[in-house]
């Protein structure tokens, strides 16, 4: 009974760790430290007469704050620094416990009477925490967490987590507040680790430093890895395997007469190796098994439009959609005024004025290095200009920051290179973009209990997704993994995602790159429908015939300055443009007759 | 703290710090070529010298002063073990998780791979060497530079003559490594990969071979660090992980990717740690937690290392 309760408490910590590791793809190696904070924190507070439940909550809050602070700066560098930081924390916690008896109570650890009692004088209730009460409590917490992972993984949270996992930079450009989500996940994970730790300490009535060595962090990491990516049952399988380690280790230790602790290390190492080797194949196998069960779908965000035709849903949802329909026809969606940017010694932009109106395609052309992509970077908030002003919908943009806030403000952008959110299905990638249109607070929590608001939001996302796919002609490929689309469809998917964010100003960086003539015609159709829906498109493109077909206005940049602006025909006749493109020599020749 | 004690702490700190610097140098070298943090590096350090001990002396922990033959054997075996372990850990735990341009691709993969490699090395070593800790003989005989083995400092304190020798040897090795990276053909190739792996490939740099060479060099430095450091105290089988993290802290202090920075960072870390250890207010417990606290703080404040500028968001 005691062992089972202990394993269930470890499962609580593992479920917590699954959030950053298996759902958000972050390498967290320090869960053992947070378990220790929960265990020692609870017992220390209890010694000073703090009621047990309050002590557990305080210890968890302490761990959550630590997790949040740790997440503050360590979630960059593609996660590498997070691995190093959390591994450092795991060892730091252990060294502190071993070296500072004032904290840990020495090698014997801190103790508490068992079974512990929950006493509430005001209610006149005394609960004695027998082993079966622990089992019950831990099982309830585990069931609740499994439900949160299962249900949450299919709602708005699941979409955000999938975006974090598959493409953090891209997620940012689609309006997902990446750093905030990561910090929240790390804090939640740490708090759950502490709850698990408090449980194990109260159950055993003792917390000794040796039980919270970095090996525990590794074991929990393994437990989460074994189950594969984003599966609610993964941690349960992992902890189940880990639970078998101590008894198996004792057997091994007896058979080969080695230290039992060493034997645990051996088995953990074997499990780690096995988990690594089997990570991909086992996940695929298990997912296939679970998927073959009736009533299961593995698509993140749930089934798309269960009972409506795609086009019908789009039509019915058009009225509800915000964004482009709000913008007044011909109004200025985006304006850059006097923007200047310097890259290490190079003046990339020198006082550029550019605006984008609703319902137009505004093409930005110029030789390589003239500053076209820099304009898009400034407009989308990736780059802070040295001087000048950016305003969206006639409102000045506050402090420049993450691109995510720009998306909500009304500017979405595609990248010059093809960037996909891993192998997520086409529709899911659009649904992640559609998340930017969710304005209701606590949608993730509301989704857990399927409130009407959450259901409406889900329907709206499905409709937006269907609309974006229809607009880009990808409806037939909505269930395909994005890496199996052809390159032109992948380019169109980027536009579909940006459209799904609902931002009225859409910035496209060379969307036609790598497209054949037929695919370019399809792109022209997509751009026309974009402007028809009231959006404005700022288009960076090299293909002049494409620009001739779609652009309402063309601005020519050269060496970071606007040298001409007007219709396509006006631009073609402009001598300054001809000079920039064809060079001085030809220009001199052309002017010869005028002098003679 | 009297002047003599202070001097003693600084000198022994420089000696310990030079070893941290060598460990950090390997760590930073691997990072700059592959963007992988070698989390098993510390275990390679400890395993290299203990494998030498296992072959030359055996499984029973005995303190002995080996003859010339055994000393040479111990040095050669340790160096070989360091190189082999580092290259093996690359082949098994890192390579499968890199993309075509040998850059970190699957972060969860290599993190799990390298901590597993460390755990496997530690456990295998513990099975082969059952005692908790081993005394390692001074194969380089650095303690016999003076007859007493100690040097008197002004103010009444003494410091072992090894401290000077360890510092000297480590700095010479670090300078040689720096020269190798800056001046040799292979070193230029490594710097090219660190700058831009695609451009390096197009210029005909054999990326795979040089990445293996970098891991081998890191292993060699690890083995040298172990030979210098181990005789100063008994070596516990699983002390490697902590040493590796201390090396990582040194590398971070001097900016990740900078070989000279790693050595300077190691020296600073060693001196500060010794000063804390000899301080009457703080003492040994604080000294042992200090490098880890530095590591966690630097990672949290400046993920790229202390001397790096603000992180630029890369598209």
CA distance A25 to chain B (A): 7
CB A88 within 8 A of CB A199: no
Q: Do B123 and A269 touch (CB under 8 A)?
A: yes
Q: Do A265 and B284 touch (CB under 8 A)?
A: no
- 3-class state of residue A543 by DSSP: coil
CA distance A364 to chain B (A): 21
Tens digits of residue pLDDT in B119-134: 889 888 888 888 878 8
- 3-class state of residue B206 by DSSP: coil
CA dist., res. A93 & res. B218, Å (int) = 28
Q: Which fold has domain A332-590?
A: Rossmann fold (3.40.50)
A269 or B263: which leads in pLDDT = B263
B126: nearest CA partner in chain A: A262
State the pLDDT at residue A215.
87
Q: Which residues of A touch B127 (CB under 8 A)?
A: 258, 262, 266
Query: Long-range pairs for A49-54 at CB < 8 Å and ≥24 separation?
Result: A51/A118, A51/A119, A51/A120, A52/A116, A52/A117, A52/A118, A52/A202, A53/A118
Please tell me if residue A94 touches chain B, with a CB cutoff of 8 Å: no
Q: Which residues of A touch B292 (CB under 8 A)?
A: 88, 91-92, 95
Q: Which residues of B touch A265 (CB under 8 A)?
A: 119, 122-123, 126
- Paired tokens of A543: 């293909």
Which of A95, A258, A266 is opposite residue B289, by nearest beta carbon? A95
CA distance A430 to chain B (A): 20
CA dist., res. A55 & res. A318, Å (int) = 52
CA dist., res. B112 & res. A376, Å (int) = 38
Structural domain boundaries of chain B?
3-313
pLDDT above 70 covers what percent of chain A? 87
Pairing of strands A553-558, A387-392: unpaired
CB A372 within 8 A of CB A333: no
Partner B, chain A 279-298, Cβ-Cβ below 8 Å: 279
Tens digits of residue pLDDT in A255-272: 887 777 778 878 888 887
Partner A, chain B 250-269, Cβ-Cβ below 8 Å: 252
Q: Which residues of B touch A73 (CB under 8 A)?
A: 299-303
Partner B, chain A 406-465, Cβ-Cβ below 8 Å: 415
Please tell me if residue A507 touches chain B, with a CB cutoff of 8 Å: no
As to burial, measured by CB atoms within 10 angstroms (0-12 exposed, 13-18 middle, 19+ buried), residue A529 is: middle
Partner B, chain A 234-263, Cβ-Cβ below 8 Å: 258-259, 262
As to burial, measured by CB atoms within 10 angstroms (0-12 exposed, 13-18 middle, 19+ buried), residue B4 is: middle
State the pLDDT at residue B266.
95
Q: Which residue has the tokens 């602070």?
A: A69
Of A74-83, A311-320, A345-354, A494-503, highest mean pLDDT: A494-503
In sequence order, the β-bridge partners of residue A556 are A365, A564
CB A135 within 8 A of CB A8: yes
Query: What is the widest separation between alpha-carbon atoms in chain A?
Result: 110
CB B253 within 8 A of CB B265: yes
Q: Which residues of A touch B311 (CB under 8 A)?
A: 76-77
Instruction: Provide CATH 3.40.50.300 ranges for chain A.
Output: 332-590
Of A295, A336, A342, the C-alpha closest to A150 is A295
The total of other beta-carbon atoms located within 10 Å of residue A399's CB is 7
Q: Which residue has the tokens 């040897």?
A: B169
Please tell me if residue B109 touches chain A, with a CB cutoff of 8 Å: yes
The total of other beta-carbon atoms located within 10 Å of residue A568's CB is 17
State the pLDDT at residue A584.
53
Q: Do B122 and A272 touch (CB under 8 A)?
A: no
Positive or negative torsion for Cα B191, B196, B197, B198: negative
Residue A407 — pLDDT band, cuts 50, 70, 90? confident
Residues 6+ apart with CB under 8 A from A441: none
The total of other beta-carbon atoms located within 10 Å of residue A395's CB is 9
CA dist., res. B205 & res. B189, Å (int) = 6
Of A196-200, A378-382, B300-304, highest mean pLDDT: A196-200
State the pLDDT at residue A309.
37
Please tell me if residue B171 touches chain A, with a CB cutoff of 8 Å: no
State the pLDDT at residue A559.
85
Q: Which residues of A touch B111 (CB under 8 A)?
A: 27, 29, 79-80, 83
State the pLDDT at residue A89.
92
Residue A31 — pLDDT band, cuts 50, 70, 90? very high
CA dist., res. A454 & res. A451, Å (int) = 5
Tens digits of residue pLDDT in B274-306: 999 988 888 888 999 999 999 988 887 776 666
The total of other beta-carbon atoms located within 10 Å of residue A567's CB is 11
A187 or B136: which leads in pLDDT = A187
A595 or B306: which leads in pLDDT = B306
Of A144, A142, A186, the C-alpha closest to A161 is A186
Mean pLDDT, chain A, rounded, equals: 82
Of A495, A440, A74, the C-alpha closest to B300 is A74
State the pLDDT at residue A74.
61
Residue B137 — pLDDT band, cuts 50, 70, 90? confident
pLDDT above 90: residue B92? no
CA dist., res. A33 & res. A214, Å (int) = 8
Q: Cα-atom radius of gyration of chain A, to the nearest Å? A: 29
Pairing of strands A553-558, A361-365: parallel
Tens digits of residue pLDDT in B185-197: 888 988 888 888 8
Of B234, B267, B265, B215, the C-alpha closest to B40 is B215
Interface with B, mutate which of A81, A227, A264 (most B CBs under 10 A): A81
CA dist., res. B165 & res. B149, Å (int) = 11
pLDDT above 60: residue A422? yes
CA dist., res. A413 & res. A394, Å (int) = 19
Instruction: List phi, psi (to 5°) of B53.
Output: -60, -45
Tens digits of residue pLDDT in A302-342: 433 333 333 334 334 444 444 444 445 568 889 888 888 88
Of B12, B300, B34, B185, the C-alpha closest to A67 is B300
How does DSSP classify residue A328?
P
Q: What number is the average pLDDT over the span A141-167?
A: 90
CA dist., res. B304 & res. A458, Å (int) = 40
Please tell me if residue B248 touches chain A, with a CB cutoff of 8 Å: yes
State the pLDDT at residue B219.
95
Q: Does domain B3-313 have CATH number 1.10.3470?
A: yes
Q: What number is the average pLDDT over the span A269-289?
A: 70
Of A188-192, A212-216, A297-301, A368-372, highest mean pLDDT: A188-192
B106 or A96: which leads in pLDDT = A96
Which of B37, B115, B123 is opposite residue A262, by nearest beta carbon? B123
Q: Do B123 and A91 touch (CB under 8 A)?
A: no
| Cα distance between the two ends of chain B | 52
CA dist., res. A32 & res. A90, Å (int) = 6
Q: Cα-atom radius of gyration of chain B, to the nearest Å? A: 19
CA dist., res. A499 & res. A509, Å (int) = 14
Residues 6+ apart with CB under 8 A from B13: B267, B270, B271, B272, B273, B274, B275
Q: Which residues of B touch A72 (CB under 8 A)?
A: 300
Question: Which 3-state string (H, E, C) describes B85-134?
Answer: HHHHHHHHHHHHHECCCCCECCHHHHHHHHHHHHHHHHHHHHHHCCCCEE
Query: What is the widest separation between alpha-carbon atoms in chain B?
Result: 62
Q: How far is CA B130 from the centre of its chain?
A: 24
Please tell me if residue B104 touches chain A, with a CB cutoff of 8 Å: yes
CA distance B309 to chain A (A): 13
pLDDT above 80: residue A547? yes
CA dist., res. A558 & res. A561, Å (int) = 5
Question: In this structure, what is the dihedral angle of CA atoms A471, A473, A478, A482, given to the nearest 10 degrees?
Answer: -110
Instruction: List phi, psi (to 5°) of A335.
Output: -140, 130
Please tell me if residue B122 touches chain A, with a CB cutoff of 8 Å: yes
Q: Do B292 and A95 touch (CB under 8 A)?
A: yes
A288 or A406: which leads in pLDDT = A406
pLDDT above 90: residue B206? no
CA dist., res. A101 & res. A88, Å (int) = 20
Please tell me if residue B127 touches chain A, with a CB cutoff of 8 Å: yes
Q: Which residues of B touch A275 (CB under 8 A)?
A: 112
Tens digits of residue pLDDT in B3-14: 788 888 999 999
How does DSSP classify residue A154?
T
Which of B104, B289, B300 is opposite residue A74, by nearest beta carbon? B300
State the pLDDT at residue B167.
92
pLDDT above 50: residue A298? no
Which of B35, B241, B252 is opposite residue A91, by nearest beta carbon? B241
CA dist., res. B48 & res. B64, Å (int) = 19
> Where does A67-190 show beta strands of DSSP type E?
110-111, 117-120, 125-128
- Paired tokens of A302: 């749930």
Mean pLDDT, chain B, rounded, equals: 85
As to burial, measured by CB atoms within 10 angstroms (0-12 exposed, 13-18 middle, 19+ buried), residue A476 is: exposed
pLDDT above 70: residue A590? no
Q: Which residues of A touch B248 (CB under 8 A)?
A: 84, 88
CA dist., res. B264 & res. A409, Å (int) = 47
B43 or A80: which leads in pLDDT = B43
CB A291 within 8 A of CB A276: no
The total of other beta-carbon atoms located within 10 Å of residue A497's CB is 30
How does DSSP classify residue B308?
-
């Amino acid at each position: 009974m005691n062992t089972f309760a202990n394993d269930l408490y470890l499962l609580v910590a593992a479920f917590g760790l699954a959030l950053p590791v298996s759902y958000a793809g972050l390498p967290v190696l320090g869960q053992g430290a947070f378990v220790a904070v929960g265990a020692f924190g609870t017992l220390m507070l209890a010694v000073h007469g703090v009621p047990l439940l309050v002590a557990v909550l305080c210890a968890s809050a302490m761990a959550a704050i630590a997790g949040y602070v740790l997440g503050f700066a360590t979630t960059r560098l593609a996660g590498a620094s997070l691995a190093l930081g959390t591994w450092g924390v795991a060892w730091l916690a252990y060294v502190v416990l071993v070296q500072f008896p004032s904290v840990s109570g020495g090698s014997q650890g801190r103790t508490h009477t068992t079974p512990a009692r929950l006493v509430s004088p005001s209610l006149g209730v005394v609960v004695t925490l027998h082993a079966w009460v622990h089992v019950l409590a831990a099982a309830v917490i585990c069931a609740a967490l499994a439900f949160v992972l299962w249900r949450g993984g299919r709602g708005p949270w699941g979409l955000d987590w999938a975006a974090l996992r598959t493409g953090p930079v891209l997620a940012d450009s689609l309006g997902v507040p990446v750093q905030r989500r990561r910090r929240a996940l790390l804090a939640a994970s740490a708090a759950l680790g502490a709850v698990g730790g408090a449980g194990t300490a109260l159950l055993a009535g003792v917390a000794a430093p040796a039980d919270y060595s970095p090996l525990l962090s590794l074991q929990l990491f393994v437990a989460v890895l074994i189950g594969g990516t984003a599966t609610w049952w993964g941690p349960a399988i992992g902890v189940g395997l880990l639970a078998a380690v101590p008894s198996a280790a004792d057997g091994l230790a007896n058979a080969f007469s080695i230290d039992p602790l060493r034997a645990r290390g051996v088995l953990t190492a074997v499990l780690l190796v096995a988990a690594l080797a089997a990570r991909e194949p086992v996940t695929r196998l298990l997912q296939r098994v679970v998927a073959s069960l009736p009533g299961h779908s593995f698509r993140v965000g749930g089934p798309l439009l269960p009972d409506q035709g795609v086009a019908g849903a789009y039509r019915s949802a058009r009225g509800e959609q915000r964004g482009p329909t709000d913008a007044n026809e011909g109004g200025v969606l985006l304006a850059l005024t006097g923007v200047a940017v310097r890259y290490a010694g190079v003046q990339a932009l020198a006082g550029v004025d550019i605006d984008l109106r609703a319902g137009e395609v505004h093409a930005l052309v110029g030789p390589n290095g003239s500053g076209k992509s820099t304009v898009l970077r400034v407009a989308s908030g990736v780059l802070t200009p040295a001087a000048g002003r950016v305003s969206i919908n006639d409102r000045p943009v506050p402090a420049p920051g993450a691109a995510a806030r720009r998306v909500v403000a009304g500017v979405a952008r595609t990248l010059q290179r093809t960037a996909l959110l891993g192998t997520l299905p086409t529709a899911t990638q659009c649904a992640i973009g559609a998340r930017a249109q969710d304005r209701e607070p606590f949608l993730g929590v509301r989704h857990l209990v399927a409130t009407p608001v959450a259901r409406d939001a889900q329907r709206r996302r499905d409709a937006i997704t269907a609309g974006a796919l229809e607009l880009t002609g990808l409806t037939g490929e909505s269930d395909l993994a994005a890496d199996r689309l052809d390159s032109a469809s992948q380019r169109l998917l980027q536009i579909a995602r940006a459209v799904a964010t609902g931002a009225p100003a859409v910035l496209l960086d060379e969307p036609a790159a790598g497209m054949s003539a037929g695919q370019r015609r399809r792109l022209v159709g997509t751009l026309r429908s974009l402007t028809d829906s009231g959006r404005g498109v700022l288009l960076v493109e090299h293909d002049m015939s494409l620009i001739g077909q779609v652009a309402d206005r063309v601005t020519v940049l050269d060496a970071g300055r606007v040298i001409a602006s007007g219709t396509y025909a006006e631009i073609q006749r402009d001598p300054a443009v001809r000079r920039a493109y064809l060079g001085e020599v030809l220009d001199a020749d052309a002017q010869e007759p005028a002098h003679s | 703290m009297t002047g003599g004690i202070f001097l003693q702490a600084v000198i022994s700190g420089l000696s310990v710090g030079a070893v941290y610097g060598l460990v950090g140098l390997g760590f930073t070298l691997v990072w700059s070529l592959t963007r992988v943090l070698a989390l098993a590096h510390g275990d390679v350090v400890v395993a290299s010298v203990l494998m030498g001990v296992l072959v030359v002396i055996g499984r029973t922990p005995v303190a002995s002063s080996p003859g010339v033959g055994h000393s040479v054997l111990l040095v050669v075996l340790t160096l070989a073990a360091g190189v082999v372990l580092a290259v093996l850990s690359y082949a098994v735990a890192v390579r499968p998780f890199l993309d075509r341009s040998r850059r970190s691709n699957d972060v969860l993969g290599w993190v799990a791979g390298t901590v597993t490699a460390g755990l496997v090395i530690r456990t295998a070593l513990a099975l082969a060497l059952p005692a908790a800790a081993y005394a390692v003989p001074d194969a380089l005989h650095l303690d016999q530079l003076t007859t007493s083995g100690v040097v008197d400092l002004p103010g009444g304190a003494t410091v072992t003559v090894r401290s000077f020798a360890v510092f000297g040897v480590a700095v010479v090795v670090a300078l040689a490594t720096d020269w190798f990276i800056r001046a040799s053909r292979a070193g230029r190739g490594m710097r090219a990969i660190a700058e831009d792996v695609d451009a390096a490939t197009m210029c005909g740099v054999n990326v795979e071979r040089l990445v293996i060479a970098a891991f081998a060099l890191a292993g060699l430095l690890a083995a040298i660090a172990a030979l210098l450091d181990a005789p100063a105290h008994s070596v516990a089988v699983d002390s490697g992980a902590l040493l590796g993290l201390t090396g990582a802290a040194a590398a971070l202090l001097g900016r990740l990717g900078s070989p000279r920075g790693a050595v300077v960072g190691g020296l600073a870390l060693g001196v500060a740690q010794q000063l804390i250890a000899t301080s009457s207010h703080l003492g040994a417990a604080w000294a042992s937690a200090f490098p880890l606290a530095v590591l966690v703080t630097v990672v949290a404040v400046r993920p790229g290392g202390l001397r790096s500028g603000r992180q630029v968001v890369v598209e």
